[in-house]
Structure 1
Amino acid sequence: AFTVRATLGLETKLLGINGLSMKIDGTTVQSIGGEHYNSSTNGHSGYEIVKDPETTRFSQGYLQYKLGKTTAKAGRQIINLDNERFVGSVDWRQMMQSFDAAVISDSTINNLTLTGAYVWGIKGITDLPASETDSIVLNGSYKINDMLKVSAYDYILSSLHDTMGLALTGNLPVSIAKIDYRAEYAHQGDASRDTDGGIVNAQADATYYNLDALANISGVLVGAGYEVLSGTSGSDGKTAFSTPLATLHKFNGWADKFLTTPTGGLCDASATLGYTAPGLGKAMIVYHDFETDKAMAGKSDLGTEWDLLYTNAIPGIKGLSALAKAAYYQGGDVALNTKDVTKIWLQLGYKF
C-alpha cells in the first residue's frame, strides 16, 4: 500500500474571553496508484490487510477552556493516557483514533495530574461511522520524584467491562546506565454501564500485569519485558483481558497479530537491543516470544516475532524525517496463529 496523509489544523481564541479557544483539525488519507490492498472496508479481500483506507474527515474539533492549571475540552479530540496501553490515538496508522468526549484535566497540585472524561463516541482508524458509547475514563498520577511516579486508573467502558489498575514508573540512575521501568497490574470486571440497546458483558473477570525495563548506556539501549493478558479456557463463558481503546500497534509486536487478545490470553516475553545518538538517529531490534495464558486444545505456542526499526531526521530540511521498519512473525501451533507474516514500512514525515 502506497499512501499519503496530510493534516491541517486551526486553533483560535473565541469571543475575546481569556482561556476560551477552539481547535479544528482536518485529515485526509489517499492512496497513490489506487487501493491495491485490503483496507478492511474497501471490499478488496484478495489482498493483504492494511487498515489505512482512503478517507477525509475532521479528526479533531473541540472547544477548550483553560483556567490556571485546569483545562476543559468538549468535542472530538484525541486522548492519550499514560503509555497508551488502555487509551490512545493510534498515531501509527494513517488516520488517528479520536473520541467524542468531554474531558477535564487538572494539575493544580504540584506533581499531581488528574483526568476525567465522559465519552459518547469513538471514531476509529477506518472510514466506518463512529461507535456510540456511554463510557467514563478516570486517570490520576502523582510524581514523587524522577525515580517513582504512581498512576491509578478506572476505565468504565459501557457494555464491555470496567478496568481498574495501578502502575509504577520511573527512571533509575544505576552506575553508567539510566533505566526506565514500568510495573503495572490491572483487573477487569463486569461492565457497570450499558450503551443504549447494548448487552452488558456480565462475565468479565480477567487480569493484566506487566514488568519492563529499558537501560540507556551511553546511547546503547538494552531492555526486557514480560506482559500477561489473562485468558479463558473457552468453556467458562468468560472473556480474555482486552484493551479496545489502546494504541495497540505499540504492543505485542508490530506485525499486529494480537490486536484482539486470543481466547486463551497472551503472555509476551520480549527483549530489546538498540542504539541512539544525535545525528545518527535511532536503531532498534526487538524479539517477542508469545504463548497463551491458558492452553487451547492442549496447545499454547503463539509464535515468535522479530521487529526492526531505524529512524532519523533528514539533515538540511527542518521538520523532515524518515523511518524504516519491519516485522517478521513466525506462527505457532494455536489455531488462527499458525501463519507467518512479514511486514515492511518506509515512511517520510514533514511537520511545519
Structure 2
Amino acid sequence: MKKTALIFAILLLNNLSLFSQDFKLSAEIRPRFEARHGYKKLMSNNQKTASFVSQRTRLNFEFEQDKIAVKVTAQNVRVWGDVSTLSAQDINGITMHETWAKYQFNEMVALKVGRQEIAYDDERIFGAVGWAQQARSHDAALVKLDFKRKGKLDAGFAYNSNNENITDPGYFINQYQNMQFLWYQVPLAKSFKLSLLVLNNGMQYSIDNVTRKTAYSQTMGGRLVYKKNKIAANAAFYYQLGELPQTISTGTVIQNAYYVAADIQYRPTSSFTFGGGIEILSGNDMSSTSSQNNAFNPYYGTNHKFNGLMDYFYVGNHLNTVGLVDIYVPLTFKKDKLKISTTAHYFLTQNNYAIKVIDYLAILDPSLGTEIDLTVNYKLSNVFEISAGYSQFFGTQSLETIQGGNASLSNNWSWLMLTFKPVLFQTNLK
C-alpha cells in the first residue's frame, strides 16, 4: 500500500504540468541558539543565563491556476529536548500557519480568504512577526483593489469564535473578537509614497462572567516614505481612540493616544548606510489619578523590529504604562553576501512615573537606558544563510523601578541562527 501511494505521488508530481499553471513545494528549517542574560527584563540577583535552541520547521504548498491562488503552510515549532529521544508522541504537534485561497475576479479586484499573514508598510501596526518562531497569522477575509497608478486598497474583515456551538457560548477572550481595517497606498510623486490605515478593533469582556460587552477602539493614521538617490526617509503618525475592555460597566476611554516616528538614512557608497531616527509612543501619567488611558498600543505589529532587539518594550510588555521615546542611530555595511548592522538606542519615558516618598509623589528620571545591537548575516546561497547577533542593555534606576530587576548587573543577549529554505519541487508554465 505504501509503495502504491509513493508511486502515485511521483506520477502526480511528474505530470502536474497537465493540471496547473504553477505549483511550488518548499520548506524552511530554522534552528536558533539563544543565550539570554537580561533579555526582555533586567536580571535579578542570583538569576542565571538561560540558553536553548528553538526551531521552526515549515512545509509550504503554493498553487496557481487561471484566476485562483492557494497557499498552505504547515508548521512545527519546538525547543530541542522538549521531546525525549524515545518519545512516541510529539507534544508540539503540527499547526497550520497559513491556509488561504485568493480569487482574481479581474485585473482590479481580488478576494483572499483564510488563515494568512497580514503585513503592511514597516510592520508597525500589522506585521508577520517573522522573528518569532511561530510568527503571526490571522483568520480573515481581504478584498484587494488595485488601481494601478492611483494606488491600491485592502479592506480586511475578521470574526473570531471559541468553537462551533449550538448556542452562544459567552464572551470571547485572548484576542480580538472582530476586526475591520482599510489600508490604502498611493504614489504621490516619483520619490514619495503615502500609506493610510484605519483599524477598528473589537475586544469582548464581561463584568460578571455572564454579561457580554464589546469594547471598540480605533487606530488611524499614515506613513509617508521618500526615497531618491542616496537618501531614504519616512515619517509616520497614528492616533487611537475608543474603549478598552474592563471589568467595570463602561470601558475606559482612550484619549489622545498617539504614535509619532521619523527617520532618515544616507547611503554615501554602495556598501555603507547610516542615519538616525526617533519614535514616540504616548503613555499614561502615573502621577495622575485619571482613569483615562493615553497609552498607545501597536497591536499586531512586528514589535521585535522596533525599540531594540532585546525586546524590553512592547513585546508582551510595557503596554498601558508611561509610553516610550526611542532615539536611535543605525549603521549598516553590506557587500556581496555579507551584511553587518549596528544600532544604538537611547530610551526615555514619554510620560511621568511617580513613586510615593513619605507624603509626596516623586517623579522618576525619564531616562530608561541605552541598548547597543549588533547583527551579522551571511548568505551562502539562495537556500542557506547564517545570522548572528549580540546586544547589550545598560539600564537605569528608573527602569529598575518600573520593570524590576537589577540595573547594576550586566544585561546582554546573544544568538546564532541557521536558515534553510530549499525549493523541493516547482513547475513554471508562465
Alignment TM class, shorter chain as reference = 0.7 to 0.9
1:321 has 2:360 as partner? no
Alpha-carbon contact 1:229-1:261 (below 8 Å) kept: no
Match of 2:112, SS state, is strand
Q: Residue 256 of structure 1: which of 294, 308, 311 is its match?
A: 311
1:140 has 2:184 as partner? yes
Match of 2:296, SS state, is coil
The residue aligned with 2:7 is none
Q: Tell me the amino acid that sits aligned with residue 188 of structure 1.
A: Q
The residue aligned with 1:161 is 217
Q: Residue 336 of structure 2: which of 278, 287, 295 is its match?
A: 278
Structure 1 residue 248, shift from structure 2 partner: 0.5
The residue aligned with 2:413 is 343
Structure 1 stretch 229-238 or stretch 242-251: which is displaced more?
A: 229-238
Alpha-carbon contact 1:191-1:204 (below 8 Å) kept: no
Q: Tell me the amino acid that sits aligned with residue 291 of structure 1.
A: L
Q: Residue 291 of structure 2: which of 217, 237, 247 is its match?
A: 237
In 1: Cα distance, 2:323 partner to 2:331 partner: 26
The residue aligned with 1:170 is 226
Spell out, residue by residue over 1:22-45, the C-alpha distance to the aligned partner (whole angstroms, 9 max, x if none). Answer: 32110111221338xxxxxxxxxx
The residue aligned with 1:293 is 350
Q: Residue 239 of structure 2: which of 187, 210, 223 is its match?
A: 187
Alpha-carbon contact 2:68-2:101 (below 8 Å) kept: yes
The residue aligned with 2:123 is 84
Alpha-carbon contact 2:252-2:291 (below 8 Å) kept: no
Match of 1:89, SS state, is coil
Distance verdict in 2 for CA 1:282–1:295, change over 3 Å: same
Alpha-carbon contact 2:55-2:80 (below 8 Å) kept: yes
Match of 2:55, SS state, is strand
In 1: Cα distance, 2:292 partner to 2:201 partner: 17
Task: Output the aligned Cα RMSD.
Answer: 2.6
Alpha-carbon contact 1:120-1:133 (below 8 Å) kept: yes
Distance verdict in 2 for CA 1:28–1:288, change over 3 Å: same
In 2: Cα distance, 1:106 partner to 1:303 partner: 44
Spell out, residue by residue over 1:235-293, the C-alpha distance to the aligned partner (whole angstroms, 9 max, x if none). Answer: 322331111211110000000000244511100000111211113x1111101110011
The residue aligned with 2:158 is 119
Distance verdict in 2 for CA 1:130–1:25, change over 3 Å: farther
Q: Residue 376 of structure 2: which of 277, 295, 310 is its match?
A: 310
Match of 2:304, SS state, is helix
Asked which structure has the greater CA Rg, the reply is 2
1:210 has 2:258 as partner? no
Q: Tell me the amino acid that sits aligned with residue 298 of structure 2.
A: T
Q: Tell me the amino acid that sits aligned with residue 95 of structure 2.
A: R
Greater helix content: 2
The residue aligned with 1:65 is 103
The residue aligned with 1:149 is 193
Q: Residue 222 of structure 1: which of 270, 274, 279 is its match?
A: 274
The residue aligned with 1:269 is 327
1:106 has 2:145 as partner? yes
1:246 has 2:246 as partner? no
Spell out, residue by residue over 1:193-234, the C-alpha distance to the aligned partner (whole angstroms, 9 max, x if none). Answer: x99x99744234311110111212211111101110011113
In 1: Cα distance, 2:310 partner to 2:226 partner: 28
Alpha-carbon contact 2:109-2:145 (below 8 Å) kept: yes
Extract unaligned runs of 5+ from structure 1: 36-52, 124-128
Structure 1 residue 121, shift from structure 2 partner: 4.3
In 2: Cα distance, 1:332 partner to 1:254 partner: 18
Q: Tell me the amino acid that sits aligned with residue 266 of structure 1.
A: L
Distance verdict in 2 for CA 1:277–1:319, change over 3 Å: same
Structure 1 residue 338, shift from structure 2 partner: 5.6
Alpha-carbon contact 2:384-2:420 (below 8 Å) kept: yes
**Count, aligned residues:** 318
Structure 1 stretch 182-191 or stretch 247-256: which is displaced more?
A: 182-191
What TM-score do the two structures reach when normalised by structure 1?
A: 0.83
Structure 1 residue 186, shift from structure 2 partner: 1.4
Match of 2:188, SS state, is strand
Distance verdict in 2 for CA 1:345–1:71, change over 3 Å: farther
Alpha-carbon contact 2:176-2:201 (below 8 Å) kept: no
Extract unaligned runs of 5+ from structure 2: 1-51, 84-90, 163-172, 203-214, 355-362, 423-430
Match of 2:267, SS state, is strand
In 1: Cα distance, 2:382 partner to 2:282 partner: 45
Alpha-carbon contact 1:270-1:286 (below 8 Å) kept: yes
Match of 2:291, SS state, is coil
Distance verdict in 2 for CA 1:62–1:229, change over 3 Å: same
Q: Residue 9 of structure 1: which of 60, 63, 78 is its match?
A: 60
What TM-score do the two structures reach when normalised by structure 2?
A: 0.69
In 2: Cα distance, 1:190 partner to 1:269 partner: 29
Alpha-carbon contact 2:282-2:296 (below 8 Å) kept: yes
Structure 1 residue 137, shift from structure 2 partner: 1.5
